[in-house]
Structure formats: structure tokens, C-alpha cells
Amino acid sequence: MIRPFKAAVLQFRIDMGAVDANLGRALALLRQAAESGASLCVLPEMWSTGFAYDRLPALARTTPGILHELRKFATEKRLVIAGSLPERSGAHVYNTFHVINATGAVTGHYRKAHLFQPSGEHLHFRKGTSAEVAPTDVGIIGPHICYDLRFPELSRKYFLEGATLFCVAAQWPSVRKAHWELLNTARAVENQLFVAASNAVGRSGDFHFSGGSLIVSPWGERLASGGEDEGLAIATIDPAQVDDVRRRIPCAQDRNERAYRKTRARS
């Protein structure tokens, strides 16, 4: 049984292509979270590079070195770290969510399955074609990247695979802030688990991000929320609450697969 632990969602400005500056901000906040006793830290989407489309293939080459540094940090601080970075594979670049366990092992590797066409993501990234939960020292994580929140099919897959916690890495623009809050809460309530969601702040390229990183309980309670400035929000997560909520309202056993099947149109 996993004991209650502190989770931190980190938010900061992501400068386009400025890997060293972005890494410096991330490490400073990770140290602050570790000093505050956090066992889980969630970073934003594409936090090391931003969406610097014209340089993505070259910038993605920095990711292995960053992962090496994060794995060392996770081991030293006994910290689970999650977030999204550009990944180069052959001629393609993926927006990939990595989960690093407190042992330093990478236990989750999810390539973003839903690319946001209005901002041109589909023109620069390869779409991921699989998604799996990630076992960690703080529970079973279901990884999400930004736009994924609008696709409850992905969340339900993780729920059925035993997820107890969703981690969300995002660059969600200020103009749709209400959707950010609503969708994260909906995913927590309908899947009866905790959601720890990290968003960027400030301006990056053509978009402005208002932060609002948050941690939501299985009952939909907002346990912690970041404002519009750089920093972190911390809350205590009690995994036993997931079991309690699922016992009180047994959604898993009340599912009716037969009703969800596609039926032929009646003539």
C-alpha cells in the first residue's frame, strides 16, 4: 500500500529553443519541490525547447542528455519526475511524455497521440500510436499531453489498466483557460483518481499561457492550484482515497460493455 505523499506541479515560462535557460528554470523548481518534501513532480509540455518548429530535429538531440540529468536528480532526491520533451526517432520527431521513477529508471514513454492541428502540430510531429500506464513508486500513472484531455477514450483506457493518477503536461493557452480547469476536473471525477496537471506561463511564440497548474482529487476537489506566475503548487495525495471513492461509487463494475458496442442502423 502506497502511503500519502506530496505531489508538485511546476510551471514556468518556456523560451523557444532556449534549452539551457529552460533546463535551468526546471531544475531550480525541481530542487524547490524536493526541499518541500515532494515525491512526484510534473513538468509542462515540451518544456526544454517550446514549439520551435524550424529547429525541432536539431533541438531534439538535446533530450537524451536532459533525461540523463533528470534520472540522476530523481535518484538522488528519490523523486518521480514526469513531463514531455521532443524525441527524435529516425527522420521523425515525437512529442514524448517520459515518466522517471524514484529509482532513476524510465518506466513510462508515451508519444502524443492527438496532435493539435489548429497550431500545426501535425505538420511537425509524428503521431504516437500506443499508450500504456507507467508503474511508479507513487502509483500507476496515466500520461496525458495537453490536447489529450479532450479525448476521454485515452483516459478510460488508462482507468481500465489500473491507473490511480493522471499526470498531464501542457502548454494550454490562456484563451481556453476555462476548458483547462473543466477537463482536468472531469477526467479526475469520471475515472475516480487524482490528476496532477502542469501548464506553462507567460508568452512563448504566438501564444500566451496563464499557468493554473492544478492537482484535483477523485471527488473533483481542487487540492492545489498555481496562479499566473512561475512557481509550483503542492498538495498531499492519499492513494487510499482512490480505493474509497471506487468502493462508494463502483463505476468499474457497473460498466455495460454491451451498450457501448456499435450497432447496425435499422432499415
- Taking the C-alpha atoms of residue 179 and residue 171, their distance in angstroms, rounded to an integer, is 13
Question: Has 146 been annotated as catalytic?
Answer: yes
Question: Is residue 16 within 8 Å of residue 205, measured between CB atoms?
Answer: yes
Question: Has 112 been annotated as catalytic?
Answer: yes
Backbone angles phi, psi at 32, to 5 degrees: -60, -40
Tell me the DSSP string of 60-71. GGGHHHHHHHHH
Question: Is residue 173 within 8 Å of residue 180, measured between CB atoms?
Answer: no
Q: Cell 517550446 belongs to which residue?
A: 50
Q: Measured at the alpha carbon of residue 54, what is the angle toward residues 114 and 128, in degrees to the nearest 5?
A: 20
Q: Catalytic pick from 41, 87, 121, 146? A: 146
- For residue 92, give the C-alpha cell: 521523425
Q: Catalytic pick from 6, 41, 45, 167? A: 45
Q: Catalytic pick from 6, 77, 87, 112? A: 112
> Reduced to 3 states, what is the DSSP secondary structure of residue 120?
coil
Residues labelled catalytic: 45, 112, 146
